[in-house]
Structure 1
């Protein structure tokens, strides 16, 4: 599992395990547990491109980013 650092959100890191361009497993370290677990369950089995398309640009409060947005940005760096 590759561990990626986040910026500007409650989750400090996101673990990503890939099989080619398919997400095998995602794990958020920190953040709102119910929301991050839901994201983990929803994106497992999806392609990197589909996750980026669905999650990129989602905001949280006045942060200008969110845990889903950070996941999309980190996945973009992997492709």
Structure 2
């Protein structure tokens, strides 16, 4: 799935979900080290656990963050695939 982000430095997030696990996460733009770290940590994680861990994380003064945007993307994926 490709998700267009909002309110963060990254422009988009691509990912797949296989057997309920989040895989192949790639951020376009953003802070390379942080987004690569988030992608590596989330690889193979259960989609619901990933949402639980990242939902609501803020970046500085912003109301969202790259991890929060990934949680939003995963929620959208779930809604569209239930």
- Normalising by structure 2, what TM-score? 0.91
Distance 1:13 1:20 in 2: 23
Shift of 1:25: 1.2
1:65 paired residue number: 64
Q: CA RMSD in A?
A: 0.7
Distance 2:69 2:23 in 1: 18
Distance 1:50 1:73 in 2: 13
1:14 paired residue number: 13
Distance 2:59 2:23 in 1: 26
Unaligned residue ranges in structure 2 (runs of 5+)? none
Unaligned residue ranges in structure 1 (runs of 5+)? none
- Normalising by structure 1, what TM-score? 0.94
Shift of 1:20: 2.8
Spell out structure 1 runs of 4+ moving beyond 2 A. Answer: none
1:33 paired residue number: 32
After superposition, the C-alpha distances for 1:23-48 in whole angstroms (9 at most, x for unaligned) are 12100000000000000100000011
Distance 2:25 2:19 in 1: 14
Number of residues of Structure 1 aligned to a counterpart in Structure 2? 78
2:73 paired residue number: 74
